[in-house]
Amino acid sequence: MTLAKTIYKGRQVYLTAGQGNITKYKDNLRRIGIEYIYVDDEISKGIEIPDVVSDETRIKCRVALQDTIERFAETSILDISEVEPGLDTMLEEIVINEDVKLSLNDISIVDDYTFSHSVSVTVYGALLARKLGFNQEDIHKLATGLLLHDVGKTMLDPDILFKQGKLEEEEFEYVKSHTTLGYEALSRCFSLTESSRIISLSHHERLNGSGYPRGISGEKLSPFVRIAGIADVYDALTSDRCYRPKWPASKAVDYLISRCGTEFDTDMVSTFVKQIAVYPNGSLVKLANGFIAIVVSQNASAPLRPRIRVITDPEGKMIEPFEVDLMDELSIVITESQLELNKSINQ
């Protein structure tokens, strides 16, 4: 088996796409928290795994953000010029690939959740804004604000921020202060517009006033802030956290839909979920009849019904692979996604 997608560790390449004999790295990868990888083998032949924004660009943005924040910690001056080139490349890629569905997060070995989360939230939010018809200037302002939305977290005590298990009331209040702390820091950065800064203060506010820090609601939440709330929650739910494992895309999509009109803007959520590959290319799915298949490609209008390649029978025995387009076979239903399958295998 050959590695199909490069794996990164921090700033460096950990394993390059094309690396052969990948099974010998299995234990090492498990040890550092990598539960799944993309491989090229007989059964996955010809399946492409497109991405809205390339791993290279995500890493470029993450590294620039990390450097910016480290310099800010030393000098108390927030100079965001270093993040601009990466951000520009990201926005160009989003324009080119706007019809590519959003897949699983990149499989970097992430040492620092806050930075990779900030980049993913920027990708989600900028793509959503594009689909909602925002102009490029506004998308740029939004993306800058999204990239910096959790800057306040970098000023908190990591022992509390990344505490395993439930936070005490007091600790939760402390973590909430990342919104006001971030906003104060961004207020001293004069190259930012107020519409970008406000994202750091208000990305945890909700339409019905149930959010924090101010509990503001309805029209008081700008479109930028509404987008930020959706992108932030979606990425948090689909990422591994110290207090819970990541959710499959289907569950995170249900979460957003069930809170439409109360916590989140209905039109924005419905536009957003259309961009998600609920069952990403190259991932495994289980069908209601027990067969296991690998996802080959997406059907743009029906995210729950991709084209699949069936590879095992209900007993789990490998069979001669055959392809089915679930748009043509409406009686066939997917019941489990890759993550749920991983869970049942690990138990």
Smallest separation (angstroms) from Fe ion to the CB of 153: 7
Q: Report how far residue 274's alpha carbon sits from residue 283's, in angstroms, rounded to the nearest whole number.
A: 19
**Strand partners of residue 244:** 241
Q: What share of the chain is helix, strand, coil (3-state, %, to 5)?
A: 45, 15, 40
* Of 87 and 311, CB closest to Fe ion: 87
Residue 90 CB, nearest approach to Fe ion (Å): 17
Of the two residues 207 and 326, which places its CB atom closer to Fe ion in the complex? 207
DSSP state of 212: S
205 in contact with Fe ion (CB under 5 A):
no
Listed in sequence order, the residues at least 6 apart from 179 whose beta carbon sits closer than 8 Å to its beta carbon are 152, 200, 201, 202, 203, 204, 212, 213
How far is Cα 40 from Cα 49, in angstroms, rounded to an integer?
A: 11
Nearer to Fe ion, 40 or 150 (CB): 150
d(CA 282, CA 203): 33
- Give the closest residue to 218 by CA, choosing from 226, 208, 228, 230: 208
Minimum CB separation of residue 276 from Fe ion in Å reads 18
**Residues within window 136-175 making contact with Fe ion, judged by CB under 5 A:** 150
By CB under 5 A, name the one of 232, 263, 265, 336 that touches Fe ion.
232
CB of 188 to Fe ion, least distance (A): 19
| Range in contact with Fe ion (rule: CB under 5 A) among 59-67, 83-91, 207-215, 224-232 | 224-232
For Fe ion, the closer CB: 232 or 265: 232
How far is it, in rounded angstroms, from Cα 97 to Cα 53? 8
Write the interaction track for Fe ion spanning residues 91-130; mark x where CB under 5 A is met and - where it is not. ----------------------------------------
* Residue that has been written with the tokens 């999509």 in this structure: 253
40 - beta bridge partners? 2
Min. distance of Cβ 180 from Fe ion in angstroms?
A: 11
Residues 250-309 that bind Fe ion (CB under 5 A): none
As measured in angstroms, the least distance from the Cβ of 253 to Fe ion is: 18
Binding site for Fe ion (CB under 5 A): 150, 232
